[in-house]
Amino acid sequence: MFPKLVPMPSPNLLTERDVDKRPILECINLGINFGGLAAVEGFNMAIGRTEITGLIGPNGAGKTTVFNLLTKVYQPTKGTILLDGNDTHNMNTAQVNRAGIARTFQNIRLFNDLTVEENVTVAMDAHMHYNMWSGIFRLPRFWKEERVAHDRAMELLSIFNMADLAGAKAGSLPYGAQRRLEIVRALATNPSLLLLDEPAAGMNPSETAELMENIRNIRDTFQIAILLIEHDMNLVMNICEGIAVLNFGRIIAKGTPEDIQSNPAVIEAYLGKQKEA
Amino acid sequence: MKKLSIKQHTRTDFLTYLGVIIAFAVMSFLSSNGSLSRSLTGQLVPICCYMSMAVSLNLTVGILGELSLGHAGFMSVGAFSGVVAAMSLQTVIPSAPLRLAAAMVIGAAAAAIAGIIVGTPVLRLRGDYLAIVTLAFGEIIKDLINCLLVGYDANGLHVAFNLTGSKTVADLGMQEGGIAIIKGAQGATGTTIISSFTAGFLLVMVTLFVVLNLKHSRAGRAIMALRDNAIAAESVGINLTKYKMMAFVTSAALAGAAGALYGLNFSSLQATKFNFNTSILILVFVVLGGLGNLWGSLIAAAALTVLPELLRAFSDYRMLVYAIVLILVMLATNNPTLKTFFSRFKPRKHVRKEAV
């Protein structure tokens, strides 16, 4: 049902590894209008199969809107999203997830009345096949699949040191654990692209450092692509192999962390125009 | 290897089953002993029906988190289709318990179809639309059955709609020896009573079994997840419409089975019995017992059905006292001091503090 989790050594030349493969995600001229306001416009981006990409920009630039477009919370009014070469045009949020995009939310959205374990197993719904009657009458198929789901959930939780909390209600967890649980839940859907919306929000520097390690580990273990929105520049510059900068719904710069740091357009977007000397 | 959490749920559910079995044993003993009052003995089957109704409504309101104001409508569909089935199967299935079982299955199927018809357009939407539509459904079904004429003879079933108000049973065109089962506004009269307390007990057990096992399976997790956060549930690949339909139709089917049992407990039954007040009464059972709390629903349904009888001493002020008792119970169950007192008896969760 699920691939075995074996951490792979992190290769140094990622772009080289992905070069002869089709990108996992391609956005072509993506855009959405909210009543005449172009919240996102002309958004072009390609993400390699095992690439960590950052999406940054000032508040209100449209970063979360891009996530909502990719996961079809909003239907794009313009452009195309190709997931592994397939157009996601006719898909809804659930179908996009089954096709391979999982996400976390800026404001945590857990299933608060379910336990931590249930929060994870519920995300495996697409990979479980027993029907309603097997569930009601507790047929062998039910036990078999529930056992597999349970083992997988505990395996995922233990990667994030949360196995002890499996029986606790998700709503009762401390903030940091809730953030981690959201990531575990997203990973439980077995995605090929993980979207993280401000994963380090509200974390102190040591927690952020741990999170950075976790994000790298996720990529190396699961061999998936990660696109993240983050305001913590230290995190973004350290772990992202590619960065796109969004301002007023448009990409103003794309490139490696070094390129972005020295890009005048980016500095202007964040700090304003430099006075003429 | 750690225990499956479902096995732990099963242990808790077992206590609910056990409670129902003990209650059944005690009540059958008392009634065979003759120590129950006549009115209370007559209430035994309706209590079982209401318990089952409350548990099934809890699936929609407590577990799915959608407000349904027309649960009595599904009960009505089940009751009248159950009565028609039982009356027309009299020769085919002579054994009364088997005929009752068949009637309940047919009642459940009819209510499930009604559930699909109501649910299909509404459950695709987000918001309180289900409450509005089910409210309308309850009223519509009442009026439809009010002008329904059904008879049975050697040629089979005869159905007519008395839309003009001028049709009578004679218009069904039945042969000699045919029986009229539903007679418009008069409802179903002359029904052979085949319901029994044992059947009621089995209905409650089956309802509990279905709802509890559904709740603690893949479907139940998905249903509760989309109650807690629909956007997040969709983002992990859960098909919103499918699971909402599953919960709603199951709930309707169980209400239909309860309705069939209820209908076959009275020789005469009118569609007006299943009005808005009945729907609200069942909702009160669910709210009083606690949303998502199934044994709470059982106790609330039993207590609130018996209470008006026990309050007969207050004669004219009966319903006033009933309302006061209801308010007091609601206040008491929400009292934080009492809550902490009762939480001491709950099994402790083995949750260690996060190791950071």
Chain B: residue whose CA lies nearest to A113: B228
**Between residues B320 and A54, which one has the greater pLDDT?**
A54
The amino acid occupying position A27 is C
Both tokens of A208, joined, read 């952020």
Res A74 pLDDT > 80? yes
Residue among A84, A109, A88, A214 at smallest CA distance from A162: A214
Answer yes or no: is pLDDT of A165 > 80: yes
Contacts of B209 in chain A (CB under 8 A): 136
CA distance linking residue B11 with residue A178, whole number of Å: 28
What's the pLDDT tens digit per position in B1-58?
A: 456 777 777 787 899 999 999 999 999 999 888 888 888 888 999 999 999 999 999 9
> Which residue in the set A112, A147, A176 is minimally distant from B4, CB to CB?
A147
Nearest chain B residue to A166 by CA distance is B351
User: What ipTM was reported for this prediction?
Assistant: 0.88
Angle of CA points B168, B173, B176, to nearest 5°: 110
Q: Cα–Cα distance between B209 and B250 in angstroms, integer? A: 12
From chain B residues 228-267, the ones with a CB under 8 A of any chain A CB are 228-229, 231-240, 246, 250
* Alpha carbon distances (Å) from B109 to B74, B104, B105, B139, B148: 11, 9, 6, 20, 19
- CB atoms A102 and B350 under 8 Å: no
- Chain A residue with minimal CA distance to B219? A132
- Say if B322 falls within a structural domain: yes
Q: Is residue B350 part of a domain?
A: no
Q: Do B239 and A168 touch (CB under 8 A)?
A: no
> What pLDDT is recorded for position A4?
57
For residue B341, pLDDT over 80 is answered with no
Burial classification of residue A106, based on how many CB atoms lie within 10 Å of its CB (0-12 exposed, 13-18 middle, 19 or more buried): middle
Which residues lie across from A120 on neighbouring strands? Answer: none
Specify whether the CB–CB gap between A175 and A107 falls below 8 A.
Answer: no
Q: Given an 8 Å threshold on Cβ–Cβ distance, is B234 in contact with A145?
A: no
Check residue A169 and report its DSSP letter: B
Instruction: Give the burial class of A37: count Cβ atoms within 10 A of its Cβ; 0-12 exposed, 13-18 middle, 19 or more buried.
Output: exposed
Q: Which of A105, A137, A166 sits opposite B232 (nearest CB)?
A: A105
Residue A100, Ramachandran bin (φ over 0: left; ψ between -120 and 50: alpha; else beta): left
Strand partners, A193: A101, A225
Residue numbers in A near B351 (CB within 8 A):
164-165, 167-168
| CB atoms A125 and B4 under 8 Å | no
Asked if B5 and A165 come within 8 Å (Cβ–Cβ), the reply is no
pLDDT at B211 over 90: yes
How far apart (Å, rounded) are the C-alpha atoms in residues B35 and B197? 16
| Element containing residue A247 per DSSP (H, E) | strand A242-247
| Residues of A whose CB is below 8 A from B234 | 92-94, 97
Q: What is the mean pLDDT of chain B?
A: 89
Mutation site for A-interface testing, chosen from B6, B218, B241, B350 by largest number of A Cβ within 10 Å: B218
> What's the pLDDT score for residue B350?
46
- From the options 3.40.50.11260, 3.40.50.10420, 3.40.50.300, 3.90.1150.10, give the CATH code of A1-100+191-277: 3.40.50.300
Q: How far is B221 from chain A (nearest CA, A)?
A: 6
pLDDT in tens, B278-319: 999 999 999 988 888 899 999 999 999 988 888 878 878 878
Instruction: Give how many domains chain B has, as a whole number.
Output: 1
Q: Which of residues 6-25 of B touch A (CB under 8 A)?
A: 6
**For residue B97, what are the domain limits?**
5-13+44-343
| pLDDT tens digits, one per residue of B125-136 | 777 888 999 999
Contact A195, A70 (CB under 8 A): yes
CATH of the domain at B55: 1.10.3470
Non-local CB neighbours of A258 within 8 Å, separated by 6+ positions: none
Please state the domain extents for chain A.
Answer: 1-100+191-277, 112-190
pLDDT at B76: 97
Q: What angle do CA B323, B327, B332 make, to 5 degrees?
A: 145
Task: For residue B345, name the pLDDT band (cuts at 50, 70, 90).
Answer: low
Chain B closest-CA separation from residue A148 CA (Å): 10
pLDDT of residue A231: 92
CA distance, residue A9 to nearest chain B CA (Å): 26
B214 and A103 in contact by Cβ < 8 A? no
The residue-averaged pLDDT of A49-65 equals 93
List the single residue in A with minimal CA-CA distance to B247: A132
What is the biggest distance separating any 2 CA atoms in chain A, rounded to whole angstroms?
A: 79
Asked if residues B285 and B300 have their Cβ atoms less than 8 Å apart, the reply is: yes
Q: Is the pLDDT of residue A155 over 90?
A: yes
Coil, helix or strand for A230? Answer: coil
User: Is there a contact between A111 and B214 if contact means CB atoms under 8 Å apart?
Assistant: no
Distance from CA of B239 to the nearest CA of A (A): 6
Closest CA to B49 of B202, B258, B297: B258
CB B77 within 8 A of CB B141: yes
Question: Is B177 contained in some domain?
Answer: yes
Read off the pLDDT band of A257 (50, 70, 90).
Answer: very high
Strands (E), chain B: 148-153, 156-161, 179-183, 188-189, 268-269
Determine, yes or no, domain membership for B20. no
Query: For residue A9, is pLDDT > 90?
Result: no
DSSP letter at A249 equals T
What is the model's pLDDT at position B316? 83
